[in-house]
Structure 1
Amino acid sequence: MAIYTRTGDAGTTALFSGQRVSKTHPRVEAYGTLDELNAALSLCVCATHHPQHRRFLESVQQQIFWFSAELASESEQPNPGQRYISTEEIAVLEATIDAAMSRVAVVHSFILPGRCEAASRLHFARTLTRRAERRLVELSADIAVRQVLMRYINRLSDCLYALARAEDHDAHQRHIINEVTRRYLASTCPSTIKESSMSLSFQELHQLIRSAVARAEELHVPVVISIVDGNGTPTVTWRMPDALLVSSELAPKKAWTAVAMKSATHELASAVQPGAALYGLDTHMQGKIVTFGGGFALWRNGVLIGGLGISGGSVEQDMDIAQAAIAAIDVRTYQ
């Protein structure tokens, strides 16, 4: 079946009424731009990782067909067999905007458009939506355009922006989870397990606790001392009398974080700030990661053999106590 008719070879096209107009007619420019937008939305559908976003965008594509059909018709009377954009579709756009923006940080300046493929394509579709809006405004100078169409196209560009922000946010979250998993798996690789003889001995565990307690008593700060092995598995936790209850939660997390990230916890603070490589790590890991001082990775001959976490005093006091304990045995806090 041939799809060509040759009727447009002279630079004209037919409206629904059959009237032939120039392909540069404002009405054709308007629904032609909507056609470009719909093609761009197809790319967004393919790029998104969210089934919910995919379903929403596909519904918008159907609505763009209704929109285009209305612009291609000169009739001012509704066609009983035709679907039209209504306030109901606008309400769905606004609800989608609110849901997406509730998941992302507030920004007070311009942002670069898209840090992942899905967000980039959504931003591109957003710019086409803005162009379609400009074409619609131009068309409205010549013919009556329903106000609901103006509201819809304006809200759609905001919606695509919100979805792009959400896609970037979630892509960043996936990156953080993958990075933490990679580092943790690296810490439990066969080469580490093979050198299990390098693990902390009972005497060293005892010495760590004794030295930490001695320094804490000098500072008059009751603390909780937690030690994990090179795989992040808890080995021992000691709570001094009158230590804060919350310290029993924080000390093991500090020790685990030091092993999982192969880094002292105070060194992570700058890495989780806005714009840094691990921004949002502390929140996305549901509180399991600690990014303030008191946790140290324990290394021996280049092998990660454990982690020490101290909690109960100020950050400076916790670090002081941990360093005093580490100095009492044959380990390093760096590889």
Structure 2
Amino acid sequence: MKVYTKTGDEGKTSLLSKERVFKDSVRVHAYGTVDEANAAMGLAKSLTDKEWAVDIIHGIQKELISLNADLATDGSVTDSNQYRITPGHVERLENIIDKLEQQRIPQRYFVTPGETSASAALDLARTIVRRAERCIVRLRRTETVHTPVALYLNRLSDLLFVLARCVEQEDLIAKVTRAVMQVLKEREQFDGGTTDMLDRAKRMIEAAEKKAIEIGVPMVIAVVDAGGNLVAQERMDNALLASVSIALNKAYTAVALKMSTDQAAAVSQPGQMLYGLNTTDGCRMVVFGGGFPLWENGVLVGGIGVSGGSVDEDMTVAKAGLAAF
């Protein structure tokens, strides 16, 4: 069957009863406007990635085809059972509205359409449905229109408003969530934080302790994060009590200066540019070997400090821990 029939070339079309009417009749204008709303809803459906919204829209689109069939049925039909749209369809729309309203954040201001592409298309469909409703009000002055049809369109415009707001709301939440996650990610990179820092610190301490046992020197091993805050610390049996704070301060110094403590020692000797460094920051700066910064992909993520033996022994044990990072 050809798409073009030429039967409407004189400006007339057929209702379901085969009655020929002019294309600008109020009845034809009414179901043509509903068809326009259906197309706008199709646009909204294509613009959203929310399956729940797609399901609602698609179900309504199918019902609008039946509704248009009722509109294309003239008032000579007396048996209401011959109509396709029933009070049950209207009730279904009301139930959907009630469910959506439970999810929607109340708005105490006039809505300006266009927050998202999908919600804008739904608002467009809503205004077209309102126009279709006005056509039906005009039609009912002179002809019969099945009552549930008018009620359906009235509820549909309300549903499309609420649906647009819920789609908008979900998109806004997703947008804010993405922004927050990006900020957290950037903050994590800036701070050098890693989600598995404690596990990695434990592995470093284990490796360092193994080396300390191997050389026969009880040590204190400390690991801090990029802010110099303690992540984990271990004092081996018989390790010097003083080494508890020294190890922690070595790790802190490595982070604070972004260099190993043996490098800090070289530049803080008399006559060097950082002479007296060890007296700053509440005397937390340690300027002898045993502390190393922890770098990951060029980002400072923490530090390790070891104390308990000679400088060379502390550095050897710290490097063993560093190798396990």
Could you say which TM-score interval applies, normalised by the shorter chain?
A: 0.5 to 0.7
1:223-276, Cα deviation, whole Å (9 max, x unpaired): xxxxx9559x9949xxxxxxxxxxxxxxxxxxxxxxxxxxxxxxxxxxxxxxxx
Residue number in structure 2 paired with 1:218: none
Give the RMSD, CA atoms, in angstroms: 2.9
Structure 2: 5+ residue stretches without partners: 195-223, 233-298, 303-325
Tell me the residue number matched to 2:319. Answer: none
Instruction: Summarize the alignment of residues 106-121 of structure 1 with structure 2, pairs less than 5 Å apart.
Output: 106-121=106-121
Displacement of 1:190 in angstroms is: 8.9
Q: Partner amino acid for 2:153?
A: I
Q: 2:125 matched to which residue of 1?
A: 125
Which amino acid is 1:142 matched to? T
Cα separation, 2, equivalents of 1:304 and 1:134:
67
Give the equivalent residue in structure 2 for 1:25. Answer: 25
Equivalent position of 2:294 in the other structure? none
User: Normalising by the residue count of structure 1, what TM-score does the alignment of the two structures yield?
Assistant: 0.56
Q: Distance in 2 between matches of 1:38 and 1:124?
A: 11
Q: Displacement, 1:191?
A: 9.7
1:185 matches 2:179: no
Q: In the alignment, is the contact (CA less than 8 A) between 2:191 and 2:226 conserved in 1? A: no
Q: How many residues align?
A: 205
Q: State the partner residue of 2:142.
A: 142
Which residue identity does 1:27 align to in structure 2? R
| Higher Cα Rg, which structure | 2
Q: Determine the C-alpha separation between the residues in 2 that align with 1:92 and 1:26.
A: 28
Q: Distance in 1 between matches of 2:151 and 2:109?
A: 25
Q: Is contact 1:188-1:230 (8 Å) kept?
A: no
Instruction: Give the secondary structure class of the aligned counterpart of 2:3.
Output: coil
Residue in structure 1 matched with residue 36 of structure 2 by the alignment: 36
CA gap 1:104/1:79 in 2 versus in 1, 3 angstroms: closer
2-structure distance, mates of 1:104, 1:229: 42
More displaced, 154-163 or 4-13? 4-13
The answer (yes or no) to whether the contact 1:133–1:153 under 8 Å persists in 2 is: yes
Q: Percent identity?
A: 34
Q: Does 1:54 align with 2:54?
A: yes
CA distance in 2, matches of 1:154, 1:163: 15
Matched residue, 1:279:
none
TM-score by length of 2: 0.57
Report how far residue 189 of structure 1 moved: 3.8
- 1:85 match: 85
Residue equivalent to 2:249 = none
Residue in 1 that maps onto 2:77: 76
Partner SS state of residue 188, structure 1: helix
Deviations 1:84-140 (A, max 9, x none): 111211122112112222222222221212411111111010001100000111110
Structure 1: distance between partners of 2:123 and 2:226: 44
Greater shift after overlay, 102-111 or 52-61?
A: 102-111
Distance in 2, matches of 1:146 and 1:116, equals 35
Q: Extract unaligned runs of 5+ from structure 1.
A: 195-227, 237-302, 307-335
Secondary structure, counterpart of 1:102 in structure 2: helix
**CA 1:235/1:146 → structure 2, altered by over 3 Å: closer, same or farther?**
farther
SS of the counterpart of 2:103? Answer: coil
User: For residues 70 and 132 of structure 1, do their structure 2 counterparts lie closer, same or farther at Cα, with a shift above 3 Å needed?
Assistant: same
